[in-house]
Amino acid sequence: MPASRPMPLPAGLLLLCCAALAGCSTVTDATRRAANAIVPYRVEIVQGNFISSEQVDALKVGMSRAEVRDVLGTPLLQSVFHADRWDYVFTMRRQGTDPQARQLTVFFKDDLLERVQGDPMPSEAEFVALLGAERKIKDVPVLEASEEKLKSLAPREPQPADAPAAAQPPLPASYPPLEPPAR
């Protein structure tokens, strides 16, 4: 009769744990809850040119291409097939919010601005509020110092113990070499 060899301890322990967990449904629920609680960091992706409503309001029919570029910046898309059209596209993807996408198209005729068409653009203040919407400030620090605090921070009069010592030894004229002389 062949002698049976004992199973190594780590493999046996692993087999025992798997058998115990196979029949327990609460472990799978707890595991699922733990996995949902851990959210990986997702990088904020901002692409394109942000165009504010103030910039769109600054555009006037008859402006040259250079003037439009000064107001809106370089367009994201300039097609060779549509030379009289510039497209400005802005997308932003942030964790926990819906993706934002805005599009503005500027049309030229004889190198002068003819018309502007696109999505309604937010003002700069609305855009800044959108950026800070996720961040919640819990405790606002006090930015005002009381009279007592100002007095405690005022420079104090030098004390005799703080005065520099008058009798300092002079610095040496030369220092010894760092390495021993070569033989």
Task: Report pLDDT digits (tens) over 147-164.
Answer: 888 888 877 776 666 556
Domain containing 83 — which CATH number?
Answer: 3.30.1450.10
Q: Widest CA span of the chain, in angstroms? A: 102
Please give the mean pLDDT across all residues of the chain.
Answer: 78
Asked, for residue 169, whether it belongs to a domain, the answer is no
How many angstroms separate the CA atoms of 118 and 104, rounded? 4
Q: Report the pLDDT value the prediction gives residue 126, as an integer from 0 to 100.
A: 84
How many angstroms separate the CA atoms of 103 and 90, rounded? 6
Asked, for residue 179, whether it belongs to a domain, the answer is no
More confident: 46 or 27: 46
Task: Report pLDDT digits (tens) over 98-140.
Answer: 788 899 999 999 999 999 999 998 888 888 877 766 555 566 6
Asked, for residue 23, whether it belongs to a domain, the answer is no
Q: Give yes or no for a contact between 21 and 27, defined as CB atoms under 8 angstroms apart.
A: yes
Q: Give yes or no for a contact between 107 and 62, defined as CB atoms under 8 angstroms apart.
A: no
Q: Report the pLDDT value the prediction gives residue 95, as an integer from 0 to 100.
A: 74
The domain tally of the chain equals 1
Asked, for residue 167, whether it belongs to a domain, the answer is no
CA within 13 Å, CB half, 97: 16
pTM over 0.75: no
